Amino acid sequence: MRWLIPALAVGAFASPALAHTSERGIVMLLPTGYYMAGGALAVAASFLVLMFLPQSLVRTWAARRDMAVDRVATPTTAASAVACGFLVFLLLAGWIGNTDPLRNPLPLTVWTLWWIGLTLAQAVLGDVWAVLNPWRAPYRMLRWLLARFAGMTDPPWAYPASAGYWPAVAGFLGFAWFELVDLAPDNPSRLALVTAAYTGVTLIAMALFGERAWLERGECFSVFFGLVARLSPLAWTAPDPTHPGRWRLRLDFPGAALIRFEPLPASGVLFVLLTLATVSFDGLNKTFWWLGLGGINPLEFPGRSAVMTRNSVGLLMAWATLAALYGLTVALGARLARRGPALANDLGAFALSILPISLGYHAAHYLTVLLVNGQYAVLAFNDPLGQGWNLFGLAGQYPKVSFLSDFHTVAVIWAAQAACIVLGHIVAVLIAHLITIDRCRDARAAVVSQLPLAAVMVAYTWFGLWLLATPIAG
Amino acid sequence: MTDGTKDTPRMRPARLTRRGLVKGVAATAGAAAVAGLLPGTMRYVQSQSAEPIKIGFQVHRTGIGAVYGRWYERVTNAAVRLINQGGGIAGRQIQIIAEDDGTDPKRGAEVVAKFATQHKVDFVFGTLFSHVVVGSAPAAGEHKMPYFVVSEGYHVASGKMNRYVFQPGITDVRAQVGSMAPWVTKNLGKKVTMIFPDYAFGHDHRDYFSAALAKQGGTISALIPIPATETSFTKYFARVPADTEVLYHVMVGPGVLTFVKEMGEHFGSRRPQVFGFIDSLEGVDLASPGLEFLEGSYFWEAMPRYAGKDQTAYDRFYRQAVGVNDSGAAANDPKDVSTYSHMFGCWETLYVIKAAVEKSGYKSPTARDKAALVEAVEAMTDFQESNRHPQGSKKFNGKLHQAYGHQFISKVGGKRLDVVHRTAIEDGLYEPAGDYTKMSL
């Protein structure tokens, strides 16, 4: 508790508290109230339109179109080996490179290119992560060594069905905590340690339970990226046994792949809700409203160390609140449609419709970080190990960030962010509708059962836009 | 005693010549070093035989200070580049080791400890936000680490830090605020209403300015505190008394643009004189929407953001070295407005460190050398306006570890600021509250 003493002493010397006016200051001048109302209405309207469209038409839309484009299957082991080499290089940069997190490629790659960028790439291009996963190649090598020298051809344990997605839930919760609560998640050597430790745990778990089982259920990022990839309009299907080595590209309605997914178990539902809770709380915890609840002055935000407990509890509360809201909403829908016995199944199915919302929040919330830190990332690779290299001739360059202080570009960026939120919810409403008509033959019951979830989605649209408009610290 | 520097604007061609010379004599490997292709340590071997001076740069890279941190980095890099090109400090190159403190006091203390034990730096510098300074200073004392902050807070001069904490590059806020009163009362009016955020930052302005105003024979018409979370301000303007001659405002945070817009809507053209602190709009373009009402109003500036008719050759030199244009924005991104009233402190502090090392004969981070360095800084009294101190001359109070410089009052016109007054250093001086030289080393 020693750190509390300087923290308390701050009151006597608080000047200057240079909380600056930022892009949020400009956003506060925009007519965001209209955007919020308009966004919520758009989602409500899209729901109503779907209700009146013939189900056959909606089904036709959602049907998969075969583009008949073949591509040579990527040799996953080789691709993974390259990715693994890159990971090792990044870890090295984390340990010996520049100690400044905005000049070191490790934090910029992990937090910006990978967490923000790859998530968006998955939603557009499909499951790129399956190819770029850096853990497959070392695992396969380990497997080969175990078979060759220890005679262990198979993993010793079968992944227990009862474990569901729980390891992924635990992993993602730890990740979210590190991102939102930890004191220095950007610190290169600290992040290198955490990344190396996670790599170790992943390889051990893969060795124990097998590559496929662990990556599909236990490893939180593969689970997350795999789910997000199902929002992509591009669906790469596995090779035909008669034409090994060739994958087939099909065109999907964005998100339609989700309705061909088996309903999730309880752990999977909680996983999806945790992804949304994390990005929502990331926005919420900096708002004047949230800080005001704890009596924290947003203009002299005391720093993460003063809010670690609050934010740990807040993250869990956001998750619990979303889970309760979702559970009650789906239960109400089932009750209205008199589908009581199918509730557990409904919960597992409709959770998939949350994913586009989560992705919409992700895109909106991290857009400006991507635009600024993406530039820092490029500059960091000019001298990745902090040795004074000038690989791309970018030494002495600084990123351009004025688009965050210009009224017109801020207005455009805000509109793009709002569009991400609204679009995410509209796709969610559509997917929920497709799931419903798949499961509910009675047309009237189908409409009624969707009402509660649609209402929550409309409200969550408004909340998402409010998060983008309300004043925040920093 | 001065900082021992007398460089004039004529220094510029000399610097270029010297750099040309370095390039000229470089052998094949040396040329590679100049081009930046050799590892860092190799470069020192090429250019200097001595080990580099390692300076820990405690920078707000993340958290609410990040915008300032970005500019502190640019100024620091520019100053280090110049110093190194000019032969470094006592013939040793500067090596900057930057660590992000997340604008957090606990992390700040961890970073200072890390500098001392892991990076084994010679000095630490660069901290801006007051709560981080206050949180980190004990760690600096514990590790006997000379700690040069660039914060403008009144913490150092309050006497409540320790022997190792200095603020030689920027005037503290108490002196800044106090030095405004003589000009404001003489030129704008004696009846002042203050609108300020209702917490320590605003309270400091309230207390320091009220006291300085009283000394000038002025009176406070009203004190109007605004809750920190407030986002709508019209109701507060209604409380400004009709006899107010000067409205003094110091709002900060994302609500500033809304504050100014609503101030304009409330007062229209029938308004009192308006005086503010540029802290409200540091890093913000004066052409931003909503700021039209500020035309004709006045601001305190520590260093004039816009190059005006009184621009010194030193300011020109500094701007060019940092990459800032005549409007105070990034030369490579003209709408990216710098934190011009604060960041010069990094530049000047590095030159103070250089002077102190060279004067004290500091060699390595031993207790003896550090003590000699601390005493050398404490013995400084004046910094002359120069390329090394482009903001202006300063007096340094060795007992308080604090520098005091000229301040500027600028008028908004044509969406830019033009200096109308430069204060005397004495305008801001106050009764000292402590004496660090009596503390043990």
- Residue A198 CA to its chain's centroid (Å): 18
Tell me how far apart the alpha carbons of residues B136 and A208 are, in angstroms, rounded to a whole number: 46
Residues 6+ positions from A419 with CB-CB distance below 8 Å: none
**What's the farthest any 2 CA atoms get from each other in chain A?**
76
Find the mean pLDDT for residues A291-313.
Answer: 93
Residue-averaged pLDDT of chain A: 89
Q: Is A192's pLDDT higher than 50?
A: yes
Question: What pLDDT shows up at residue A52?
Answer: 85
Query: Considering only CA atoms, which of A232, A202, A196, A236 is closest in space to residue A219?
Result: A202
**Domain end position, chosen among A252, A286, A307:** A252
Residues 6+ positions from A320 with CB-CB distance below 8 Å: none
Contact across the interface for B229 and A9, Cβ inside 8 Å: no
Burial of A46 from C-beta contacts in 10 A (0-12 / 13-18 / 19+) = buried
Q: Does A75 touch chain B (CB under 8 A)?
A: no
- Tell me, yes or no, whether A111 and A236 share the same domain: yes
A300 contacts on B by Cβ (under 8 Å): 131, 199-201, 228
Q: Does B153 touch chain A (CB under 8 A)?
A: yes
**Domain end position, chosen among A186, A220, A252:** A252
Which of B81, B203, B336, B339 is best to mutate for the A interface (most A CBs within 10 A)? Answer: B336
A472 contacts on B by Cβ (under 8 Å): 254
Report whether A353 contacts A431 (CB < 8 A). Answer: yes
Domain boundaries, chain B: 11-172+340-405, 176-309+410-421
Using CA coordinates, name the residue in chain A closest to B290: A29
Contact across the interface for B253 and A389, Cβ inside 8 Å: no
The alpha carbon dihedral of B126, B128, B129, B135 has a sign of: positive
Residue with the larger pLDDT of the pair A294 and B150: B150
Helix, strand, coil shares, percent, chain A, to 5: 70, 5, 25
User: What are B302's two structure tokens?
Assistant: 């520590």
Contact across the interface for A298 and B228, Cβ inside 8 Å: yes
* Partner-chain residue, chosen from A99, A291, A302, that has the shortest CB–CB distance to B99: A99
Find the mean pLDDT for residues A233-255.
Answer: 73
B100 contacts on A by Cβ (under 8 Å): 100-102, 184, 186-187
Contact across the interface for A304 and B153, Cβ inside 8 Å: no
Question: What pLDDT shows up at residue A339?
Answer: 66
Q: Summarize pLDDT for A251-285 with one digit per residue, the tens.
A: 888 888 888 888 999 999 999 999 999 999 999 99
Residues 6+ positions from B89 with CB-CB distance below 8 Å: B53, B83, B353, B354, B357, B358
- Tell me, yes or no, whether A162 and A273 share the same domain: no
B132 contacts on A by Cβ (under 8 Å): 303
Residue-averaged pLDDT of chain B: 89
- Ranges of residues in chain B with a pLDDT under 50 are 1-48
CATH superfamily of B11-172+340-405: Response regulator (3.40.50.2300)
Question: What pLDDT shows up at residue A74?
Answer: 65
- Tell me, yes or no, whether A155 and A265 share the same domain: no
Q: Which residue has the tokens 């320790």?
A: B162
Question: What pLDDT shows up at residue A67?
Answer: 62
* Partner-chain residue, chosen from B64, B129, B283, that has the shortest CB–CB distance to A473: B64
Report whether A439 contacts A457 (CB < 8 A). Answer: no
Q: Does B335 touch chain A (CB under 8 A)?
A: yes
Q: Is A240's pLDDT higher than 70?
A: no
* DSSP bridge pairs for B165: B147
What pLDDT band is residue A69 in, cutting at 50, 70 and 90?
low
CATH match for B176-309+410-421 among 1.10.10.10, 3.40.50.2300, 1.10.3210.10, 3.40.1360.10: 3.40.50.2300
Q: What is the DSSP string of B144-165?
A: T--EE-----STTTTT-S-TTE
- Tell me, yes or no, whether A304 and A211 share the same domain: no
- Tell me, yes or no, whether A155 and A213 share the same domain: yes
* DSSP bridge pairs for A237: A248
Q: How far is A380 from chain B (nearest CA, A)?
A: 14
Range 76-105 of B in CB contact (< 8 A) with A: 77, 97-100, 102-105
Q: Does B62 touch chain A (CB under 8 A)?
A: yes
Q: Does A407 touch chain B (CB under 8 A)?
A: yes
| Tally of CB atoms within 10 A around B241 | 11
Q: How far is B4 from chain A (nearest CA, A)?
A: 30
Buried b (16+ CB within 10 A) or exposed e, B22-60: beeebeeebeebbebbbebeebbebbeeeebbbbbbbbb
Which of A192-196, A443-447, B298-302 is predicted with the least confidence, judged by mean pLDDT? A443-447
Tell me how far apart the alpha carbons of residues A386 and B189 are, in angstroms, rounded to a whole number: 56
Question: What pLDDT shows up at residue B165?
Answer: 98
Contact across the interface for B62 and A395, Cβ inside 8 Å: no
- Tell me, yes or no, whether A76 and A115 share the same domain: yes
B70 contacts on A by Cβ (under 8 Å): 398, 401
Question: What pLDDT shows up at residue A153?
Answer: 86
Question: What pLDDT shows up at residue B288?
Answer: 85
- Residue B36 CA to its chain's centroid (Å): 30
**Domain end position, chosen among A203, A236, A252:** A252
In-domain check, residue A3: no
B105 contacts on A by Cβ (under 8 Å): 3, 6-7, 10, 302-303, 305
Contact across the interface for B131 and A14, Cβ inside 8 Å: yes
- Tell me, yes or no, whether A47 and A128 share the same domain: no
Residue with the larger pLDDT of the pair A246 and A281: A281
Q: What is the pTM of this model?
A: 0.89
Paired sense of beta strands B53-59 and B123-125, if any: parallel
Find the mean pLDDT for residues A97-107.
Answer: 97
* Partner-chain residue, chosen from B64, B73, B99, that has the shortest CB–CB distance to A301: B64
Task: Please give the backbone phi and psi of residue A431, each rounded to the nearest 5 degrees, phi first.
Answer: -65, -40
In-domain check, residue A30: yes
Q: How far is B135 from chain A (nearest CA, A)?
A: 5
In-domain check, residue A6: no
Q: Does A387 touch chain B (CB under 8 A)?
A: yes
Q: Does B147 touch chain A (CB under 8 A)?
A: no
User: What are B129's two structure tokens?
Assistant: 């936000």
Domain extent, residue A261, equals: 20-63+256-474
Q: Does B18 touch chain A (CB under 8 A)?
A: no
B156 contacts on A by Cβ (under 8 Å): none
Tell me how far apart the alpha carbons of residues A424 and A415 are, in angstroms, rounded to a whole number: 14
Question: What pLDDT shows up at residue B48?
Answer: 45
- Tell me, yes or no, whether A52 and A166 share the same domain: no
- Tell me, yes or no, whether A87 and A126 share the same domain: yes
Tally of domains within chain A: 2
- Tell me, yes or no, whether A241 and A349 share the same domain: no
User: What are A297's two structure tokens?
Assistant: 């002055």
- Tell me, yes or no, whether A246 and A322 share the same domain: no
User: What are B181's two structure tokens?
Assistant: 């009163």
| Tally of CB atoms within 10 A around B72 | 28
Question: What pLDDT shows up at residue A439?
Answer: 81
Tell me how far apart the alpha carbons of residues B34 and B38 are, in angstroms, rounded to a whole number: 8
User: Could you give the percent of chain A with pLDDT greater than 90?
Assistant: 71
Question: What pLDDT shows up at residue A15?
Answer: 39
Amino acid symbol at B237: F
CA dist A113 → A105, A375, B289 (Å): 10, 10, 33
**Secondary structure class of A37 (helix, strand, coil):** helix
Range 162-191 of A in CB contact (< 8 A) with B: 183-184, 186-187
Contact across the interface for A405 and B160, Cβ inside 8 Å: no
Query: Considering only CA atoms, which of B176, B167, B128 is closest in space to residue B303?
Result: B176
Any idea what DSSP says for residue A20? P
Using CA coordinates, name the residue in chain A closest to B205: A15
Contact across the interface for B106 and A471, Cβ inside 8 Å: no
Contact across the interface for B199 and A14, Cβ inside 8 Å: yes
Q: How far is B8 from chain A (nearest CA, A)?
A: 26
Q: Summarize pLDDT for A331-360 with one digit per residue, the tens.
A: 999 888 876 567 788 899 999 999 999 999
Q: Does B340 touch chain A (CB under 8 A)?
A: no
- Tell me, yes or no, whether A95 and A114 share the same domain: yes
Q: What is the DSSP string of A357-385?
A: HHHHHHHHHHHHHHHHHHHHHHHHTTSTT
Using CA coordinates, name the residue in chain B closest to A23: B254
Q: Predicted ipTM?
A: 0.89
Question: What pLDDT shows up at residue A256?
Answer: 80
